[in-house]
Structure 1
């Protein structure tokens, strides 16, 4: 999954403020999911990462088993890899789409070296049956994170492929960590759905802990939408190119106190808003002059960003929108900006002919996200966990 997410697999999506709802579960914060938070502890470290991690000099491909051989991935593998991801997703997380563009984003993440950071298992007929990455995240502000997404074709599970894949990901990940000088928490990190029991068991056996839980919320757009009055100090605009960088800055400010979030780089942000599924016309912003400088230029103070992937609608059985981010700058919280923006966004989704709006939220969010979404008509549907092997 891409860094941050995936912002590296879907994602902590809400930093809004308000009155907290009841958490669906509580788990200790070990290290962060995606990007890590400025000023928020995600673990402690008193020595450089390279002093804490021993790694092999050479990482060999996994041992062949059951007629499956292994090699690095290449961009030419995008279509068969996408087909494998769709087969895995149909079992492990059937309520989500499996866009080709998401797979492409995985293979082209900043800093990834496919020849060394990827692996695919191929059967005797040339069919992809397992895959994985072990990719060092380029943003290391308060966490050194190696993403280790991947999976095994449901029809080939129980043959030892997953164990060999995880062994390879761990060895390559430890190579990455052993080359890092930062005095920061560090870990191998991925995400897993609550219902993916085989994958969860395999990760536990490999030393990963379920460190944080996320709840997928859905909103039936056939239900009435209650409008929320807009604070007169701001105005709404639809996102356009001129607001892209200002929204990134607002995102980084909004999520500074959020578990698992560290600053999103210009490159990573550009990849997200430039994706074919991202919808600027369905992404709404609240803009205003800074409270402490009324003569300054307007800035983005709150935002709701939407993603629409028609490719996934057939599998999902409905026309669905995904809310990538909901956020409010910390100095603007308590003004119901998220509620106003979210209600208007839902209305825009209805006007687009969509049937359901989906988002993910931290199950123990400190900003009142669960309460906010409950009042907006969202209901809990599924849960997933960030799993971490910490060093």
Structure 2
């Protein structure tokens, strides 16, 4: 196909269904375990840090979206402004130049947003993809992208064999609610402040990415110091109905797991994970999952391995650094 025969324009909020259709078509080949409804893709399109007009592009063959890219910038950054490029091409339209055109457009858009928001910092453009997807090196390498970080998707089947969770002494636990949602966000930011790419999440980003229609309050918990009420550890879980509809497996994903530095090495994270696993099983989930950074300073992979999670799928974070 000649790419000039396609219609190219920025993404719009009205593209939610077309985007879901594209992503679901990609899933039939890529098999990364992600399925979408229009509500899910709309959540991405209304992201306050996705500047659709300046930093997105979609290719259409008639009414069918056959490829897209969008860039997310950060409100807060230190030293390096790491923007995130998302995108993909319909399996029936791959290896026809669409992917390369979208990657090049993404680099240009990232530079535009960087100049607008953090011109004094260095820029890095991140692309996060499952390691088994073919052609990534050939697509990204010529533009200077290189692997900079590695992640694992880990999974835990849920059932009656789960041990009873033990709350560390001096702590009390509370489930998520609208009243304590801000404590969850603030605790997450403090817990992740010394992790790789540690930019804090502002409230609008938290609401868009975490506290949305996929949040599972019954599997999301906060630990507090019983003496003074300080929030010291957090676990937030989300669930996508589209995945369950396709696979028949109700998976609950641990999106955020963290302990503030002063309370590490006291069993807080392990207790949160154990408590969430038991709650997930009691609420009818079949499996728990988590994405783990290979080099997180708090040793998260060990926590999850000790809890019974096993690695299922590697991911690679590619980056173009300026």
Alignment TM-score, normalising by the size of structure 1? 0.77
Say yes or no: does 1:358 pair with 2:289.
yes
- Quote the Cα distance in structure 2 between the aligned partners of 1:221 and 1:81: 32
- The DSSP-based 3-state class of the residue aligned with 2:313 is strand
Corresponding residue of 1:33: none
- The DSSP-based 3-state class of the residue aligned with 1:134 is strand
- Quote the Cα distance in structure 1 between the aligned partners of 2:303 and 2:12: 43
Corresponding residue of 1:261: 198
Corresponding residue of 2:26: 88
- Quote the Cα distance in structure 1 between the aligned partners of 2:67 and 2:153: 26
CA deviation after TM superposition for structure 1 residue 356, in Å: 0.7
CA deviation after TM superposition for structure 1 residue 90, in Å: 3.0
1:326 pairs, out of 250, 257, 271, with 257
8 A contact 1:231–1:335 mirrored in 2: yes
Say yes or no: does 1:232 pair with 2:178.
no
Superposed CA deviations along residues 165-221 of structure 1, whole A, max 9, x for unmatched, are 111111222223344555433111221110112234311222211110110000011
- The DSSP-based 3-state class of the residue aligned with 1:364 is coil
Corresponding residue of 1:128: 65
Comparing 130-139 with 340-349, which one deviates more in the overlay?
Answer: 130-139
- The DSSP-based 3-state class of the residue aligned with 1:197 is coil
Corresponding residue of 1:205: 142
- Quote the Cα distance in structure 2 between the aligned partners of 1:306 and 1:173: 30
- The DSSP-based 3-state class of the residue aligned with 2:161 is coil
8 A contact 2:69–2:85 mirrored in 1: yes
Comparing 377-386 with 313-322, which one deviates more in the overlay?
Answer: 313-322
1:150 pairs, out of 73, 87, 102, with 87
- Quote the Cα distance in structure 2 between the aligned partners of 1:111 and 1:335: 36
Q: List runs of 5+ in structure 1 lacking aligned partners.
A: 1-62
8 A contact 2:49–2:205 mirrored in 1: no
TM alignment of 1:153-168, pairs within 5 A: 153-168=90-105
Say yes or no: does 1:107 pair with 2:45.
yes
Q: Quickly say closer, same or farther: Cα 1:341–1:267, change in 2 above 3 A.
A: same
- Quote the Cα distance in structure 2 between the aligned partners of 1:89 and 1:137: 28
Corresponding residue of 1:19: none
Q: For CA contacts below 8 A with separation 6 or more, give which structure has more relative contact order.
A: 1
- The DSSP-based 3-state class of the residue aligned with 1:256 is coil
8 A contact 1:228–1:339 mirrored in 2: no
Where in structure 1 do 4 or more consecutive aligned residues deviate above 3 Å?
A: 99-102, 178-183
CA deviation after TM superposition for structure 1 residue 223, in Å: 6.3
Say yes or no: does 1:196 pair with 2:127.
no
Say yes or no: does 1:138 pair with 2:75.
yes
Alignment TM-score, normalising by the size of structure 2? 0.93
1:286 pairs, out of 218, 223, 226, with 223
Output the aligned Cα RMSD.
Answer: 2.0
- Quote the Cα distance in structure 2 between the aligned partners of 1:135 and 1:228: 38
Say yes or no: does 1:187 pair with 2:118.
no
Equivalent pairs, count:
322
Q: Quickly say closer, same or farther: Cα 1:223–1:67, change in 2 above 3 A.
A: farther
Q: Choose between structure 1 and 2: higher helix proportion.
A: 2
- The DSSP-based 3-state class of the residue aligned with 2:224 is strand
Q: Quickly say closer, same or farther: Cα 1:162–1:379, change in 2 above 3 A.
A: same
